[in-house]
Amino acid sequence: SGMTGACWRAWFNLGVARQMSGQTQKAQEAYERAVSMEGASAEVFNNLGIVHFSLQQYEKSCRDYEKALALDSLYAAAWNNLGGSRAALGRIGEAAAAYAQALAIKPDYPDAMVNFGMLLAERLERPDSARALLERVLRTMPESPRRTSVERFLDGLKDTAR
């Protein structure tokens, strides 16, 4: 019904406002209220996952992203975030699969390209694949806010290749 939709959305918006002002614990409470209500969207679970991740509660964040994806399997940001949580738990193969899924949905997704590239280089010992992906970010997204860190990372890869 329209009323429950309005209710979870109000809690969701409160959570966003609290998250943006750095009140992580209060944001978590608001999102938990939102996800407990009927009709809560994938975005609510994704944002709760971001909060849990920032609190280093990686198992919880994985569950949140998986719930988001159960509601919307084409939610590229949730796949990317799931990759980060899985990587934090040392589940490297599963992290790679999640990043690959994000990129299958949204091929020019800078965050997923950078995250997957760094995972390939640092954890999967595939520097050539990493370099190709990261160079694509620089080519296709000259304005990316992560540009400087990507360039620095690529310079480091060149040093190890010698």
pLDDT in tens, the chain (162 residues): 455 567 899 999 999 999 999 999 999 999 999 999 888 899 999 999 999 999 999 999 999 999 999 999 999 999 999 999 999 999 999 999 999 999 999 998 999 999 999 999 999 999 999 999 999 989 887 787 888 889 999 998 876 654
Tell me which residue has tokens 């949730």. 78
pLDDT at 1: 43
* 127 DSSP assignment: H
Q: Which residue has the tokens 């614990």?
A: 25
Please, where are the H alpha helices in 21-126?
Answer: 24-35, 42-54, 58-71, 76-88, 92-105, 110-122
Residue 50 to residue 78: CA distance in whole angstroms: 9
Name the token pair of 5.
Answer: 């939709």
69, 82 Cβ separation under 8 angstroms: yes
**How high is the pLDDT of residue 157?**
85
Under DSSP, is residue 2 helix (H, G, I), strand (E, B) or coil?
helix
Minimal CA–CA distance to 127: which of 88, 91, 156, 94?
A: 156
Instruction: Specify the pLDDT at position 64.
Output: 97
Q: What does the pLDDT read at residue 3?
A: 57
Model confidence, pTM: 0.87
Distance CA 114, CA 152 (A): 12
